Structure 1
Amino acid sequence: MNLDFIERLQRITLTSEEGEVITVRSDHREKILEECNLILIGRFFTAKPINLCAAKNLLRSVWKFGQDLKITDVGDGLIQFKFAMESQLLWVINNGPWSFDNHILLLRRWEKGMTTFSVQFLHIPIWVQIWGLPFDLINVEASRDIGSGIGCVVDIYCKAISSEQTYFFRIQVEMPIDKPIRRGALVISPEGDKYG
């Protein structure tokens, strides 16, 4: 590197303008915030590079929102999903988790003040199947208790509990992404009987 260039670089100082505050006008702020409420921020849970173009095409195909869905690479491995309607956003959240090339897509809703550098993904919602319980424990109350023992309960698939064929039931729980998923657990009934 040229020594003259290094000397000039070392003499650079901040100008007085750099300490000034820049205020952003709020002319259309309400509309902008309303649109931002229809955004999910995502990241694939992997250290490997992802073919983002192929991932976008697959998600567009599976989610079937056509041009209503805007998918944008916002840097640092983050993807912004902008929906036209709240119902579309909720459908994606409620029907996940989603994956591409065996890599889970972590998603979270936009929050005011969120930046590329501040987005954190700490939990992932997963569906857990519960098999082999006695008939008297196949109910919503027991499902909630079992789900709470695994993680934070998001949803219980009640159709399985009330259907004509109930072999198992499903609970959606939020799990910390740094915690291994349990393959099984012992369940104890109110009378102390153990099942597992």
Structure 2
Amino acid sequence: MFRFRGVKDKTKILAGEPWHFDHHVLVLRSVEGQEQPSNIFLFVTPFWVQIHGLPFNYRDSKIAMMIGKKLGVLMEVYQEEDWDMLSIMRVRVGLNLRNPLRTTLPVAAEEEEAFVVSFRYEQLPTFCFLCRRLGHGMKDCGYKSDEEIHDEGSLSYTEELRAPPFRKNFFF
């Protein structure tokens, strides 16, 4: 539990999520009024997610919002003046840490052939390449069998889920 001296500090800390400690995500929630800390749901935390592979004609905030809602709780869509010129789009979503990270998503296009977008997660802490969940590595995975854990050659999830730090004008 953390206590802040002022609302400004608390707002700044919550706006900077996700925070990490020892390569693990630190889930933060604000306690309001008479709320008991033991009753607070601590499985959702915000991440910036990069959307890759969108065709040029589908790079707008409406599409980003639709995709963000499929990933988790949509919090924000990154806005840029030259939005359609970026090779990626970014959304901030509250991800349920008990669920596997999504790697791709098929998108049904209006009157056109469907396409698939892929995702990269900014500031991604320790995660398992087998089950795609945060909070543990492959050797500690309780979701997969020992046989799957030792067969590292068949991994379909790699460091590519980890996005490079986003910088304005970096992806033109």
Shift of 1:120: 2.7
The question of whether the paired residues in 1 share the 8 Å contact of 2:77 and 2:90 is answered with: yes
- Between the aligned partners of 1:176 and 1:140, the Cα distance in structure 2 is 23
The correspondence for 2:91, drawn from 171, 174, 196, is 171
Identity value in percent: 24
Q: State the match for 2:106 in structure 1.
A: 186
Q: State the match for 1:153 in structure 2.
A: 74
| Residues 141/170 of structure 1: CA separation in 2 closer, same or farther (3 Å cut) | same
Count of aligned pairs: 116
Question: Residue 110 in 1 paired to residue 41 in 2?
Answer: no
The question of whether the paired residues in 1 share the 8 Å contact of 2:50 and 2:89 is answered with: yes
| Residues 148/117 of structure 1: CA separation in 2 closer, same or farther (3 Å cut) | closer
For residues 19-59 of structure 1, the C-alpha deviation after alignment (integer angstroms, 9 at most, x for no partner) is: xxxxxxxxxxxxxxxxxxxxxxxxxxxxxxxxxxxxxxxxx
Q: TM-score, normalised by structure 1?
A: 0.53
Q: Which runs of structure 2 are paired with 1:34-183 in the superposition (5 Å)?
A: 79-86=1-8, 88-159=9-80, 162-163=82-83, 165-183=85-103
Whichever residue aligns with residue 146 of structure 1, its letter is: I
Structure with the larger strand share: 1
Q: State the match for 2:167 in structure 1.
A: none
SS in 2 for 1:172: strand
For residues 110-145 of structure 1, the C-alpha deviation after alignment (integer angstroms, 9 at most, x for no partner) is: 111233433331311111110111111110000001
Larger radius of gyration: 1
The question of whether the paired residues in 1 share the 8 Å contact of 2:17 and 2:45 is answered with: no
The question of whether the paired residues in 1 share the 8 Å contact of 2:65 and 2:74 is answered with: yes
Quote the RMSD (CA, aligned, Å).
2.0
- Between the aligned partners of 2:19 and 2:74, the Cα distance in structure 1 is 18
Q: Which is bigger in relative contact order (C-alpha 8 A, separation at least 6)? A: 2
The question of whether the paired residues in 1 share the 8 Å contact of 2:76 and 2:92 is answered with: yes
Structure with the larger helix share: 1
SS in 2 for 1:136: helix
The question of whether the paired residues in 1 share the 8 Å contact of 2:46 and 2:95 is answered with: yes
Whichever residue aligns with residue 121 of structure 1, its letter is: L
- Between the aligned partners of 1:146 and 1:191, the Cα distance in structure 2 is 18
Q: State the match for 1:195 in structure 2.
A: 115
Whichever residue aligns with residue 32 of structure 2, its letter is: E
Q: TM-score, normalised by structure 2?
A: 0.60
Shift of 1:188: 1.7
Whichever residue aligns with residue 99 of structure 2, its letter is: K
